Each structure stands twice: as structure tokens, then as C-alpha cells.
């Protein structure tokens, strides 16, 4: 049992921070598509959202420490810069769209179907290679 006065664990704080980053990335994505945002801020927002959502990193993740350090620094700093450059009304509209998108339920059945499809494709690829 946890006491209400005990501070949250490091893991719970990291999960909360990660959820906030995810929301901010989606917010920046929508802000980049808003025609009322300044062009420079839109371009930067598009670059930050693309980098955050892209599987390609400046420093590959398999390089110890540095691989994840770029994700822990570049994305939050880019988000912070975009949030400061965007007008408040554009950010409010983008946050509302992000919250609506992130509130939609996720289907575990659909996720399981995709996993089964990828496993089957991997199995057939392995058979073909052997």
C-alpha cells in the first residue's frame, strides 16, 4: 500500500514525462499543418515532428549512451523551441486536436493481427532464405 504522502517513483515520473512528450509531438504535428502559424515556426514544427516520429536518428540507438542521448535532448529541446515560437491560439487548437486523437481507444485485436502478420512474413522470409 502506498501512502498519499509518498513521492511518485522514478518510473511513474518517467512514464508521465513520456506521455507529455508524446502529446507534445502530436501537438507540434498539428501546429505544423495550421495555416495561421508563421511559416518559420511551421517549418521547424514539421522538422521536429518528423524527427520525433522517424525511425531514423542522427546518432543510431545501438551506440551506447549517445544513441539515446540525442532522443532525450533533441526532441524535447525542439519541442520547447516550437512551443515558444507558435502563437497561443494555434497551440491551443493543436492541443485540442492532439487530445482528441490520443483519447481514441486502441484496439488490441488489431495490434495482435499486425503482430501475427509480421511474424508470418518473417517466417516465410526465413523459409525462403533457407
Determine, yes or no, domain membership for 118.
no
CA dist 9 to 12, 28, 72, 76, 127, Å? Answer: 5, 29, 19, 22, 46
Query: What would the grid cell of residue 60 be?
Result: 543510431
Domain total for the chain?
A: 1
19: domain range? 10-105
One pLDDT digit (tens) per residue for the chain, 130 residues: 555 667 778 888 878 887 888 889 999 999 999 999 999 999 999 999 888 888 777 777 777 777 777 778 888 999 999 999 999 999 999 999 998 888 877 777 877 888 899 999 999 999 998 8
Determine, yes or no, domain membership for 48.
yes
Determine, yes or no, domain membership for 50.
yes
In the block, which residue shows the cell 531514423? 56
Q: What is the CA radius of gyration of the chain?
A: 19
Determine, yes or no, domain membership for 33.
yes
Determine, yes or no, domain membership for 78.
yes
Contacts for 70 with CB less than 8 Å, ≥ 6 apart: 57, 58, 59
Query: What would the grid cell of residue 91 be?
Result: 497551440
Determine, yes or no, domain membership for 4.
no
Amino acid at each position: 500500500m502506498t501512502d498519499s504522502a509518498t513521492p511518485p517513483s522514478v518510473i511513474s515520473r518517467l512514464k508521465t514525462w513520456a506521455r507529455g512528450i508524446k502529446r507534445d509531438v502530436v501537438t507540434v504535428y498539428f501546429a505544423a499543418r495550421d495555416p495561421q502559424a508563421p511559416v518559420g515556426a511551421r517549418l521547424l514544427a514539421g522538422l521536429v515532428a518528423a524527427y520525433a516520429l522517424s525511425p531514423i536518428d542522427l546518432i543510431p540507438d545501438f551506440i551506447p549512451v549517445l544513441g539515446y542521448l540525442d532522443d532525450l535532448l533533441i526532441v524535447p529541446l525542439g519541442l520547447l523551441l516550437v512551443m515558444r515560437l507558435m502563437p497561443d491560439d494555434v497551440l491551443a487548437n493543436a492541443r485540442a486536436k492532439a487530445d482528441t486523437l490520443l483519447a481514441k481507444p486502441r484496439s488490441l485485436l488489431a495490434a495482435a493481427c499486425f503482430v501475427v502478420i509480421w511474424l508470418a512474413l518473417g517466417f516465410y522470409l526465413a523459409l525462403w532464405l533457407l
